[in-house]
Amino acid sequence: MSRYLLKRLSMAAFTLYAVMTITFVMIQSIPGGPEDYIRAQLMQSRGDGSISMAQVSQLAERSMNIDPTDPMHVQYVEYMSNMLQGDLGESLHFAAPVDEIIVQAMPWTLFLLSIATLLTFSAGIVLGAIMAYLEGSRFDVGTTVVSMFLNSIPYYIFALLAIALLAYDWGLFPASGHHPTGAEPALSASYFIDVVHHATLPILSLVITGLGGVALTMRGNAIQVIGEDYIRVANLRGVPGRQIATRYVGRNALLPMYTSLMISIGFMFGGAVVLEEIFAYEGIGWYLLEAVNARDYPLMMGSFLIITLAVIVFILIADLTYSKIDPRVEQEDSREAY
């Protein structure tokens, strides 16, 4: 176990390092380079063109951890070490350190997405298993078509329709924000209910449009497993049907879903950007898009990095739970071949 754990942890660390390098390259490839960007920012705030090189490099150092007067490799080392210390630079648009913005925005996004991912997968898996057991029945045919249809609706279109009908027309749910305006965050039941109420529509958009795909994959896997010989043997041996369904079919049908789980975690976190914008839900995705529109590069890179970090952690958790279910993955090592 420990060797496997070590391998997964180092992989996660390496991924983070690679993504940090990508953000560094991206900052360098800003049209006109970081210097031009800072100069434009300074000119906007001061309103005159007389800016010394010292000022530019000072501001660049503070907001982006990059001193354009240094040689490239020094910039890189400087940038990486600052990032690793949790210094993500300073947002010029919001006039606040990036890490502070992220710390107050991130919990909302995590709350939204962890519930949405959990619901999508548990509901999809259960539905898919039922469909596979009732294969060929009217229920199966019906839900298959519905699943395919739901899978072809983008979550943001569902979100727009949900706002129109459930929020405006029927007034069942609030259309924007993560808690009522003016309400102070408190550890009270009413505040918690308010927060859940605000999160319902965004979560619903992800779950309804995502569950069909999960159900269809699960259905296909389960059908394949039900046809295996060992299931027949178990049946003949008189293993109770319930036990076959959960231990034999369920478990083996779940294993191939691992890759799709990893992909959907990334997909859902990506979707947060669009969803939070539509619902004006001030999570990390909302800030990322604000930063893009304001061309606020430090905040852009910072939120991108944090979203990726969240995905890395989620995938690591999925990895470790998966190795508990399927002990084979721990020994998985590619042998040299041809």
Partner 1 sequence: MAERTSTFQTDTEPDRDDRITRSRRELYRERLDLFVLTPLRVIWSDWRTRVGSLIILAWVFLGTVGYWLVSEPFPGDGPRMDPAFQSLEFPLGTTIRGESVFALVVQATPAMLIMITAGAVFSVAIATLVGTVSGYKGGRVDRALTVVTDIAMTIPGLPLIILLAALIEPTHPVTVGIVLTINAWAGLARAIRSQVLTLRDHSYVEASRIMGVPTRRIVVDDILPNIMPYVLVNFVQSARGVIFGSVALYYLGVLPFSNENWGVMLNDAYDSFGVFTSWETAHWILAPMFAVVTLSFGLILFAQGTERLFNPRIRARHAETIDEDSMESHR
Whose CA is closest to 281, among 129, 178, 204? Answer: 178
Residue (44 or 259) nearer to partner 1, CB: 259
Q: Which stretch binds partner 1 (CB under 8 A): 37-45, 72-80, 122-130, 258-266?
A: 258-266
Cα 77 to its chain centre, rounded Å, is: 28
The answer to the question of residue 216 lying near partner 1 (CB under 8 A) is yes
Residue 243: other Cβ atoms inside 10 A: 11
* Residue 274 interacting with partner 1 (CB under 8 A): yes
* Of the candidate residues 68, 210, 285, 302, the single one contacting partner 1 (CB under 8 A): 285
Candidates 19, 92, 125, 201: give the one binding partner 1 (CB under 8 A).
19
Q: Which is nearer to partner 1, 185 or 227 (CB)?
A: 227
What's the full length of the chain, in residues?
Answer: 338
Coil, helix or strand for 173? Answer: coil
Among positions 132-191, residues that touch partner 1 (CB under 8 A) are 135-136, 148-149, 151-154, 156-157, 160-161, 163-164, 168
Nearer to partner 1, 13 or 53 (CB): 13
> Can you tell me the distance from the alpha carbon of 78 to that of 228, in angstroms, rounded to the nearest whole number?
57
Q: Is 323 in the site for partner 1 (CB under 8 A)?
A: no
- Quick check: 201 binds partner 1 (CB under 8 A)? no
- Which run of H or of E encompasses 96? strand 96-97
* 199 touches partner 1 by CB under 8 A: no
Provide the b/e sequence for 293-320 (b: ≥16 CB within 10 Å). Answer: eeebbbbbbbbbbbbbbbbbebbbeebe
* Selected range binding partner 1 among 58-66, 92-100, 195-203, 281-289, rule: CB under 8 A: 281-289
The reply to whether 68 sits near partner 1 by the rule CB under 8 A is no
CA-CA distance, 203 to 95, in Å (whole number)? 31
Q: Which of 198, 210, 300, 302 binds partner 1 (CB under 8 A)?
A: 300
The C-alpha atoms of residue 239 and residue 212 are separated, in whole angstroms, by: 31
